[in-house]
Amino acid sequence: MSSNQEGPRPSAATPVMIDGNEAAAYVAHKLNEVIAIYPITPSSNMGEWADEWSANGKQNIWGTVPLVIEMQSEGGAAGAIHGALQAGSLATTFTASQGLLLMIPNMFKIAGELTPTVFHIAARTVATHALSIFGDHSDVMSTRSTGWGMLSSCSVQEVMDFACIAQAATLESRLPFLHFFDGFRTSHEVMKIQELSDEQLRAMVDDDMILAHRKRALTPDNPVIRGTAQNPDVFFQSRERCNTYYTACPGIVEKAMQKFETVTGRRYELFEYVGAPDAERVVIVMGSGAETVHDTVEYLANKGEKVGVLKVRLYRPFSLEHFLAALPKSVKTIGVLDRCKEPGAAGEPLYMDVITSLGTAQQNGTLPFASMPRVVGGRYGLSSKEFTPAMVKAVFDELKKPSPKNGFTVGINDDVTHTSLVYDPTFSVEGEEVKRALFFGLGADGTVGANKNSIKIIGEETPFYAQGYFVYDSKKSGSTTTSHLRFGPKQLKTPYLIDRANFIACHQWFFLEKYNVLEAAAPGSVFLLNSLYGPDVVWNHLPRVTQETILEKKIQLYVIDAYKVATATGMGGRINTIMQTCFFAISGVLPKDEAIAAIKNSIKKTYGKKGEHVVQKNYEAVDQTLANLFAVKVPDKVSSTIELPPVVSPQAPAFVQRTTAPIIAGKGDTMPVSLLPEDGTYPVGTTQWEKRNIALEIPVWEPDICIQCNKCALVCPHAAIRVKVYDGAALANAPETFKSMEYKGVEYKGLKYTVQTAPEDCTGCNLCVEVCPAKSKREVKVKAINMKPQEPLRLPERLNYDFFLNLPEVDRRTVRTDTVKGTQFFQPLFEYSGACSGCGETPYVKLASQLFGDRMIVANATGCSSIYGGNLPTTPWTANNEGRGPAWANSLFEDNAEFGLGIRLTIDKNLEMAQELVRHLAGAIGQDLTMAILGAKQSDEAGIHEQRERVDVLKKKLAGMQEAEAKRLLSLADYLVKKSIWIMGGDGWAYDIGFGGLDHVLASGRNVNILVLDTEVYSNTGGQMSKATPRSAVAKFAASGKPTSKKDLAMIAMSYGNVYVAKVAMGSNDAQTIRAFLEAEAYDGPSIIIAYSHCIAHGIDMARGMTNQKVAVETGYWQLFRYNPLLAHEGKNPFKLDSKAPSKSLKEFTSLETRFRMLEKSHPDRAKELGAQAQADVKERWALYEQYAHDGGTAAPEKVEEKQ
Amino acid sequence: MDLSTYYLGKRLKNPLVPSASPLSRNIDSMKRLEDAGAAAIVMYSLFEEQIEHESFEIDHYLSYGTQSYAEALTYFPEAKEYNLEPDQYLELLRKASESLEVPVIGSLNGVSTGGWVKYAKHMEEAGADALELNVYYIPTDPALAGDDVEARYLDVLHAVKSTVAIPVAVKLSPYFTALANVAQRLVNAGADGLVLFNRFYQPDININELEVTPHVHLSDSSASTLPMRWVAILHSRIKASLAATSGIHTSDDVIKLLMAGADVTMMCSALLKRGPEHLKEVLEGLEKWMFEHEYVSVEQMKGSMSHKSVHDPSAFERANYMKALNRYKLLM
């Protein structure tokens, strides 16, 4: 972009600090009438903005509030938009990745019908060997053949500008446009940009074109038909009929860009060249990477290098003429950079376009160069991999070689096929005028929020250009955040992380003990540390590496005890405002008083709506901060003996040491290709090596009070509190503080019993304490489980836990499976996940792993459970001592039921083939064994055990046989042991995007177990409404409360008659939950369990999640029942209502949760109306279920009693 | 017959005033109270904790777990505005003072002199005819002396009086060593009236769950003897209005308290139990009794049996206890 300040222009709005998603949504909302949305990272925010603005009555430039609707999938959104466009409105949607792939069929149609629209895409990696939420062009490149215009934005300003240009161009050209920008890097980067005013937008959009579009609408007042079916005679010719539109399109876009320049002063071209006019080496690139190349080219060109960059703006239709005209005549070597990978292709897409274009020009004789340039292609930046000036330099250096590498990669170390270019990571083009600040914080301490405020202040209150980018780790609890803030006098073209900071703040002391936070510190930089230790003593507590770095880089150290200030000012654990004030005080970006005033102004803006008091408390925190901020006089010698601990225990297996540990340590970027599996297959059981130590307090067991109910172990979301029974003789080697007591029941009489916490894996959620029913007779506040500070317990409990784990597991055959107590003696094969502290889903997942884990395959829909289940570096799915455990895979979001069914079909087929072979080989196997294997019941743990023993004998026999059939049977023999197929996912999958498949699988009659972890919103993408969301709850996309009631998925499933259906809530009736799991698994047909899962997205006290579940059932908000078709076969009523009639008003539940209470605050009248309807829903639903329970002759709801 | 009385400098058509209760949580039931004959209405209490903590709580739950995980940077949409409890209270007060003919008294409940005190001013601006300051405080700290506790009451009163021009009544607990002295000091500090007394919710113990449970126990007429004594003692000794509350259920209760010296009698439990319309019955009962006993006005009756007016003032004093004890012994 370049600026042309001449000429009169419509009034422009003031500069704003926003991210790419907001910029796109801003224009889209201003220039559309109908918006269909569906959440998918990293584009969800665009839909959220649109929904929020419409809910708040914000109008588009024509004075009407756009209609926003959430659909059940991106396919649905595309379909709805196709319809809306056909009916003549201005319509749009936003998406990314798999979502865009689901839109492709409609995109072909929309383009084929020459329909103007702009879809805004936060470009994201398409899942291959793994899912990735991060950015590259693999999704948008998959749509190349749809016939859409494709316009690429490189920066947040361009996102706003191109959103507008695309709209103007689509209306005139009639080609639909994909407007895309890099997911996260641009969609989530906060930048100071010029907002387009309504006047500017009006000036860009030609009303006549809109009228022409509306005139083409389907209407009975002027009927036409579209979407005909055509035959070989005319289809081909018809397809060529649109060519003129494609020929005209680049000119139209160019015209729109020229008009945009007159309106705003900002100039763009279809292909934009920057660099030396006589450049010999040119890089061609699209997206945010072009900014990095641009900056690097300017730096190198200033040093006299003949280099340049060609930024591709309009990728489709690809204009040969404009492309050739934009390249400097002097070019000799071209490097084309693609942000995607097409394995097996002759080259990546942009590379092939360039080659084709040059080849065509050469053939046509229109090549404007002395000779055909040499062209090489390379890949960079997959899944948001960093792309820095150092890498750009490496590309230009490569282009200088006589035979530059083709198909190279840059930014990684490919030690397998040696595609990668070597680069010098110390190379930098950033000038001293750019200030760079890096902040390490915890998700929970508000660091990111404060930094978003800080950069907004700098951007909006000073003449500086400013940029903020925020990095999060892959955990949902105790996650680390890194904030990268830059500001300076010139526009920033730095879409990459800070690697030499002038200012580093560490908001949590314990980070120092994990890694060197000063690695990216520039010499002479400032280090602000939140420290319990004051300026006089802090030095002696710093790890050696920190001291060394401070001295080596001559870093100025400041300390503040932010938690002390937070406590003194009533801020609790929120240190955000305090650390923000320190940053401004030290950095001097604004004069002190102005900075304080700006912070306070920002506090007022952020918190003002939520009441004066919270504003005042923040003001107090600001006022008290400076008196507590101290410069530290740094000694001149390193004195510390504190070393950083190893990332994982030396006992960890080789794979974990080699591959997992560097990822945990944040060194994944430097890992060579060879260290990673070829096909995305990873070993299980790796969370155990990632000792996160995130709990401030952990549960401590009091044997004297314990009644051995095992409920603590049942509800633990992280399998961090466990129980065992064992022979007392084992205690001989027990650590000193290991606790034990006599087992109280008859089944293990004479054995010892222990409840043990995993001190370094516990997240401190408190659910175990909450459900513990045993209270001290002397002091009721003391329970059998109580929370105590973790730090002093860490070492002794680590020893105790190691000892505990080494105690033998209980023999599964001896366990009373149908009791809460019994189930908890089964080893959890799902442990220490990165789910939210106090998660309501994982207790169910863990329970399934305990009951069936050693013969279980899990098909997991994308969502929270696939993230805490399978997000690198580690997985909570694990194996038992025999090496058996759940095998797990995630296919997609929308296809999980089908994926699971496919697994079932193979298992069934394998079993069938194995049984056939057993029969064929009966003579060799022996008749008794054959009969026993084929006739095995396997209906309980003993039956499974016996079958395993038979299969072992069989395998031994087969091992000695040479026949092909024997070898085949050997490969299939394990399938003779019953396998348990579990299809898991959240309500977004089951109720919405995957419902069609789920319904089909239910109808298949096949033996699959479906577990719906029903949080009643799309939790993983940030709480968007699903069809499981209850009436009156506030969710994203339902900002004014969901007006309709929750879909009754159970009732739909029951309508088949042959599906086992259960609705459970562990916090209300754990025995019923266990019964449902056992019955579902035992049922030889489809089963579905709908499990109420409290969730952080409900806005609740997560420590009381199980209590909320209890109240949900008591008020009738959630009902417990089981529908077992087997009972119908016995002539009984298959439907058993396991909960009692509502004994409390719905309000007693809804008042516990912010999702409902928020509506009372935001829309009080609507809250009353929807609240009354929701109460009526409860009554109606209960009456219906009660009728079901009675109709079959069951007089009263059967209560599931705990059998102990 | 003249039922009118003066309370907090205002002439009320009768001495029946519903005290702070859930019945004043919406305009409809306040209307019903007015229709049943209420001479003024004390609105439910706005608590210091509500003012201070609600905004914190909203901020806490809306921001809990946010900006931590790349896919879910927030969990809720941002609302255009949040109608916080204090705002809703003021809105209701505004509506009530516009649509009701009887005076509306705002009620503020708190124990400190923090920022919440400014809601007194907001209530005045919203149209409150007077304020009732409900200092609901259980001094659990053994280090806190009686003087300190009393000082708190005075500090809160000072803070409120310095911000508003409308009359302010203080609702007291009966648990003072020298209640008359406290009453006098509050009046000296500017209290325009005293409301006797606060009834604290008493905790209960659930012996099966081993939990302390809040216990809401509605009063009956027997509870009225406590305010009766102190109204009788304070009547005409202090220069401030006296409102009697606790255990006022029947017209007899009203008559007794008026005779003891109350300017108004306030009802809560009786109306919660029997509905706003019960007030009409009490009013009719009062008129009937006065007619039958040839009283011409409430003023005539007011204080006629106060400590100062009765033949044997000791009946309101310790001697009362002695006599009762003696009689008990005789019965043995």
pLDDT digits (tens, 9 = 90+) for B127-179: 999 999 998 778 889 999 999 999 989 999 999 999 999 999 999 999 899 99
Mark yes or no for CB contact A1154/B63 under 8 Å: no
Tokens of A277: 């006019």
**Sequential DSSP letters for A477-491:** SS-EEEEEEEEESS-
CA–CA gap between residue B154 and residue A770 (Å, rounded): 42
CA distance A134 to A725: 46
Please judge whether B67 and A1039 are an interchain contact, meaning their C-beta atoms are less than 8 angstroms apart.
Answer: no
Burial class of residue A9 (count of CB atoms within 10 Å of its CB; 0-12, 13-18, 19+): middle
Q: Is B155 on the interface with A (CB under 8 A)?
A: no
CB A309 within 8 A of CB A399: no
> CA of A1133 to nearest chain B CA: how many angstroms apart?
35
Sequence letter at residue A84: A
Are the C-beta atoms of residues A557 and A550 closer than 8 Å to each other? yes
Residue A303 CA to residue A309 CA, distance in Å, equals: 16
Reported as type and span, the H/E element at residue A857 is strand A856-860
SS (HEC) of A365-419: CCCCCCCCCEEEEEEECHHHCCCCHHHHHHHHHHHHCCCCCCCEEECCCCCCCCC
Q: Is B22 on the interface with A (CB under 8 A)?
A: no
3-state secondary structure of A525: strand
User: Judging by beta carbons within 10 Å of its beta carbon (0-12, 13-18, 19+), is residue A1166 exposed, middle or buried?
Assistant: middle
Query: What span, in angstroms and rounded, lies between the C-alpha atoms of A1166 and A1189?
Result: 34
Judge contact between A1090 and A1063, C-beta under 8 A: yes
| Contact across the interface for B63 and A1099, Cβ inside 8 Å | no
Question: Distance of CA A973 to CAs A664, A970, A1062, Å?
Answer: 38, 5, 33
With CB atoms and an 8 Å threshold, state whether A611 touches B71: no
Token digits for B105? 């008294």
**CA–CA min distance B113, chain A (Å):** 14
The residue in chain B having the minimum alpha-carbon distance to the alpha carbon of residue A480 is B68
Reduced to 3 states (helix: H, G, I; strand: E, B; else coil), residue B158 is: helix
Give the Å distances, CA to CA, from A746 to A743, A812, A815, A1204: 8, 16, 12, 10
A638's CB contacts (< 8 A; 6+ apart) are A544, A547, A548, A551
Which residues in chain A are classed under CATH 3.40.920.10? 435-632
Which residue is catalytic, options A1020, A1029, A1069, A1115?
A: A1020
Q: Distance between CA A1109 and CA A1115 in Å, rounded?
A: 10
Smallest Cβ–Cβ distance between A616 and the set B61, B115, B211 belongs to B115
Q: Would you state the pLDDT for residue A10? A: 60
Residue A1091: its H or E element: strand A1087-1092
- Asked if the Cβ–Cβ distance from A1096 to B64 is below 8 Å, we say yes
Q: Which of A124, A174, A812, A855 is labelled catalytic?
A: A124
**CA–CA separation, A742 and A754 (whole Å):** 9
Q: Which element (helix H / strand E) includes A249?
A: helix A243-264
User: Chain B window 115-134: which residues touch A at a Cβ cutoff of 8 Å?
Assistant: 115-116
Contact A874, A831 (CB under 8 A): no
Is A262 a residue of the active site?
no
φ, ψ (nearest 5 deg) of residue A916: -60, -45
Place of tokens 């000779």: A371
What is the distance between the alpha carbons of residues A658 and A679, in angstroms, rounded to a whole number?
17
Residue B108 pLDDT > 80? yes
Q: Is B208 on the interface with A (CB under 8 A)?
A: no
Q: Taking every pair of C-alpha atoms in chain B, what is the biggest distance, in angstroms? A: 82
A611 interaction partners in chain B (CB closer than 8 Å): 51, 54-56, 58-59, 82, 84, 86
The token pair that represents A204 in the structure block: 């860009």
For residue A3, what pLDDT is reported?
Answer: 46
Whether A670 is catalytic: no
Tell me whether strands A271-275 and A307-312 are parallel, antiparallel or unpaired: antiparallel
pLDDT at B214: 80
Q: ∠A272-A274-A276 over CA atoms, to 5°? A: 140
Nearest CA in chain A to B61: A1099
Q: Which of B268, B249, B271 is nearest to B201 (CA)?
A: B268
Q: Domain spanning A435-632 has what CATH number? A: 3.40.920.10
Closest-CA residue to B5 (of B212, B179, B244): B244
Out of A74, A269, A386, A831, the active site residue is: A74
pLDDT confidence of residue A411? 98
Long-range contacts of A952-958 (CB under 8 A, 24+ apart): A953/A929, A954/A918, A954/A925, A954/A929, A957/A924, A957/A925, A957/A926, A957/A929, A958/A921, A958/A925
Chain B nearest-CA residue for A451: B67
Which chain B residues are Cβ-neighbours of A607 within 8 angstroms?
55, 59
- The answer to whether B298 touches B258, Cβ cutoff 8 Å, is yes
Dihedral in degrees, nearest 10, Cα atoms B253, B255, B260, B262: 90
Q: Is the peptide bond before A402 cis (omega within 30 degrees of 0)?
A: no
CA–CA distance, A93 with A33 (Å, rounded to integer): 11
Please judge whether A52 and B78 are an interchain contact, meaning their C-beta atoms are less than 8 angstroms apart. Answer: yes
Mean pLDDT by 10-residue block, N- to C-terminus, for chain A (1204 residues)? 48 82 98 98 97 94 98 98 98 98 98 98 98 98 98 98 98 98 98 96 97 97 96 98 98 98 97 98 98 98 98 98 97 98 97 98 94 97 98 98 97 98 96 95 90 93 94 89 96 95 96 94 97 96 97 97 93 89 92 91 88 87 94 96 94 96 95 97 97 94 98 98 97 97 95 98 96 95 97 97 97 94 98 96 98 98 97 96 97 98 98 98 96 96 97 96 96 98 98 98 98 98 97 94 97 97 98 98 98 97 96 98 96 96 96 95 93 97 94 48 46
| A264 CB-contact burial (10 Å; exposed 0-12 / middle 13-18 / buried 19+) | buried
DSSP string computed for A816-852: -TTSHHHHTTSPPSB-S--SPTT-SSHHHHHHHHHHH
- Rounded to whole angstroms, the Cα distance separating A507 from A479 reads 13
| A129-134 contacts, C-beta under 8 A, 24 or more apart | A129/A677, A129/A679, A129/A680, A130/A680, A130/A872, A131/A862, A131/A866, A131/A890, A132/A383, A132/A384, A133/A41, A133/A42, A133/A97, A133/A183, A133/A184, A133/B70, A133/B71, A134/A42, A134/A183, A134/A184, A134/A383, A134/A384
Q: Is A1104 on the interface with B (CB under 8 A)?
A: no
**Catalytic residue flag (residue A1075):** no
CB pair distance less than 8 Å for B73 and A1022? yes
What dotted CATH number matches A2-264? Answer: 3.40.50.970
Q: Is the distance from CB of A1147 to CB of A1170 less than 8 angstroms? A: no
Fold classified for A269-410: Rossmann fold (3.40.50)
Residue of B nearest to A482 (CA): B68
Residue contact A444–B71, C-beta within 8 A:
no
What is the pLDDT, as a whole number, of residue A12?
Answer: 57
Give kind and range of the element (H or E) at residue B45: strand B41-47
What is the phi/psi pair of residue A492, to 5°? Answer: -95, 125
Smallest Cα distance from A421 to chain B, Å: 30
Q: How do the domains of chain B map onto residue ranges?
A: 5-306
Q: What angle do CA A1123, A1128, A1130 make, to 5 degrees?
A: 130
User: What is the third-level CATH fold of A694-826?
Assistant: Alpha-Beta Plaits (3.30.70)
Do the Cβ atoms of A598 and A457 come closer than 8 Å? yes
Residue B327 reports pLDDT greater than 60:
no
How far is CA B169 from each of CA B9, B18, B129, B146, rounded to the nearest angstrom?
A: 11, 15, 11, 21
Determine the distance in angstroms separating the CA of A182 from the nearest CA of chain B, rounded to an integer.
15
**Bridge partner residues of A336 (DSSP):** A284, A377
Q: Please indicate whether, in this complex, the C-beta atoms of A56 and B59 are within 8 angstroms of each other.
A: no
**Is A41 noted as a catalytic residue in this protein?**
yes
- The CATH class for the domain spanning A1016-1191 reads alpha beta
* Partner-chain contact A448 B67, CB within 8 Å: yes
Nearest CA in chain A to B71: A1021
* pLDDT at site A13: 61
- What value does the mean pLDDT take over residues B84-101? 93
Contact A1068, A1120 (CB under 8 A): yes
Spelled out in words, what is the top-level CATH class assigned to the domain B5-306?
alpha beta
Structure tokens at B285: 């009962």
Helices (H), A1055-1139: 1070-1082, 1105-1114, 1125-1129
Question: Strand, coil or helix: what is B192?
Answer: coil
Distance CA(A336)–CA(B306), nearest Å, equals: 101
Nearest alpha-carbon partner for A125 in A184, A66, A81, A72: A184
Q: Which of A21, A22, A32, A41 is catalytic?
A: A41
Q: Do A613 and B55 touch (CB under 8 A)?
A: yes
- Longest Cα–Cα distance of chain A, Å, equals 98
Among A816, A811, A771, A814, residue whose Cα is nearest residue A1078: A816
Pairing assessment for the beta strands B104-109 and B41-47 based on DSSP bridges: parallel
Measured between beta carbons, the chain A residues lying within 8 angstroms of B211 are 780
Helix (H, G, I), strand (E, B), or coil: what is residue B69? strand
B54 → chain A, closest CA residue:
A611
Buried b (16+ CB within 10 A) or exposed e, A64-93: eebebbbbbbbbbbbbbbbebbbebbbbbb
| Contact yes or no for B61 and A836 at CB 8 A | no
Question: Complex ipTM above 0.90?
Answer: yes
Query: Quick one: pLDDT band at residue B199, thresholds 50, 70, 90?
Result: confident
Q: Report the residue of chain A nearest B77, measured CA to CA.
A: A1036
CA distance A151 to A165: 9
Joined tokens for residue B55: 């905004």
Whole-number Å distance between alpha carbons of B206 and A213: 71
Give me the torsion for CA of A1168, A1170, A1175, A1181, rounded to 10°. Answer: 170
**Distance in angstroms (rounded) separating the CA atoms of residues A594 and A856:** 62
